[in-house]
Structure 1
Amino acid sequence: MQTIESIIRNLLSENVSIWGIANMENTPSHPYPELKRAIVFGLALNREVIRNLDSGPHQAYIDECNMANEKLTSIGMELEKKLQQMDYRAISMTASTSDINEKKLEAEFPHKTTATKSGLGWVGKCDLLVTKEFGSALRLNTVFTDAHLKAGNPMEKSLCGTCSNCIDNCPVNAPTGKQWDPSVHRDEIIDIQRCYGECQRASKKINFDHPLCGRCIIACPWTQKYVCEV
């Protein structure tokens, strides 16, 4: 009989680029505090699509993000179902950013929280998750559960060091340069109003109705390492 660990491993290793498990105890923003574990997983975006983000978003980038979002949401629903069939509680989020609170300009619960808590990466100076494997060129989803799974070691500090690429390449100087750690609030890292305004302008140029930019993604050396791999 398969264990819950082997079921999760088999499903995710065959369908996603990266995944981990986070211990969510004592997480203030946790929407389901009775569910103590989070399974977070991501899909790396196409290298060629990301290479062409230097001058801002384009249709291929939108299509790639939409495709990744749909696949991650589908995987989340499948994982939720498998956990429930084994009598565990499980709630899948979605990979879409449509749940953003337009007053606070933040998601109900950011996937990067589960990603840093599982050890997949850290939050960069542009306020995006950064991973050693893919930089910021990936989309994420999360499934919360009460299954007692072994969690990864959380990231406790940024690995950005003195790098300022995302700051230098931001058209509106939204990143403040503040280095992330789990105690640092988002507003210390980035001027989210400036960032959002630029995302709106960039999307308007290509007649897309959802704010997005992407320049800080390709500016990151960790993303560059990924897109330049042969």
Structure 2
Amino acid sequence: MLDEWLDEFSRNLGADYYGVADITNAGDFIFQQGKINVEQYPRAISIGILLLNTIVDDLPRRSEHSVAVNYHHTYNIVNLQLDLIASRLARSIQKQGYTALPVPASERYDDEMICAVFSHKLAANLAGLGWIGKSCLLITPENGPRVRWTTILTNVPLTPTGKPMKNLCGDCRKCVDICPVKAFTGSNFKEDEDRDVRYDARKCELYLENLEKQEKLPVCGLCIYNCPFGK
């Protein structure tokens, strides 16, 4: 069965998470963000790889050059691994006679909106792999936000693996309170609200740009570090 084969294939390539989402109901949002027509790609395969705890747990010391270098290197390597897995899966799907579009794990599409061509966390959320937290990151119940994601859009008639999980953030504000630029408002995710209600992406952007101006590596990630589900 193609569902089981793709799951096993992705895990053999190094994926820690695999899920399938029916994205047809989110078609308007997806098209608005990246001009992707979900009629061509009604399914999204979500792939996740865990970040190493030893790297994430050092983030409070990110001002130390060695810590910043380690995190920056790990971040880039994991993104590369995700892109390679997505490419392999997409090629395999094509050989089966279907269409597949691997979306880069980390590639900006719109500088004004500060977003990618497609939301990986949307796919993971709709696939039942977690919920979107106050940090606007995908929170998994097992590892919190300590996961990097990529997506393969496809027309393979795969069976969705789940539905969006209940938001378990509750009254927790650990990601909100630790943010050095107060980019988060503390509001819980609502699918009918703009991201700006919860998160000012420009504050993060300026913070990282300022680090670069100081000839430092642009590393933060404290919202990933401080999430209780990750710890």
The answer to whether the superposition gives a TM-score over 0.5 is yes
Secondary structure of 2:25's partner? coil
1:136-173 Cα distance to aligned partner (Å, 9 max, x none) = 11111100111111102221642110000011101111
Distance 2:227 2:213 in 1: 24
Structure 1 position 52, deviation (Å): 0.4
Partner of 1:24: 23
Q: Does 1:126 align with 2:135?
A: yes
Secondary structure of 1:29's partner? helix
Aligned with 1:48 (options 42, 51, 54): 54
1:6-40 Cα distance to aligned partner (Å, 9 max, x none) = 32022122221111000011212331312111100
TM-score (norm 2): 0.89
Structure 1 position 207, deviation (Å): 3.2
Whether contact under 8 Å (2:22, 2:160) holds in the other structure is yes
TM-align CA RMSD: 1.7
Whether contact under 8 Å (1:158, 1:181) holds in the other structure is no
Whether contact under 8 Å (1:43, 1:138) holds in the other structure is yes
TM-score (norm 1): 0.89
User: Partner amino acid for 2:145?
Assistant: S
Which is worse superposed, 150-159 or 115-124? 150-159
Secondary structure of 2:89's partner? helix
Partner of 1:83: 93
Which is worse superposed, 176-185 or 15-24? 176-185
Which is worse superposed, 41-50 or 57-66? 57-66
User: Partner amino acid for 1:24?
Assistant: I
Distance 2:195 2:50 in 1: 24
Partner of 2:6: 8
**Structure 2 stretches lacking a partner, 5+ long:** 31-35
Whether contact under 8 Å (1:94, 1:141) holds in the other structure is yes
Q: Does 1:104 align with 2:113?
A: yes
Identity of aligned residues (%): 30
Whether contact under 8 Å (2:178, 2:222) holds in the other structure is yes
Structure 1 pair 140–207 and aligned structure 2 pair: CA distance change class (3 A): same
Structure 1 position 181, deviation (Å): 2.8
Structure 1 position 113, deviation (Å): 0.7
Structure 1 position 76, deviation (Å): 0.5
**Structure 1 stretches lacking a partner, 5+ long:** 225-230
Distance 2:183 2:131 in 1: 19
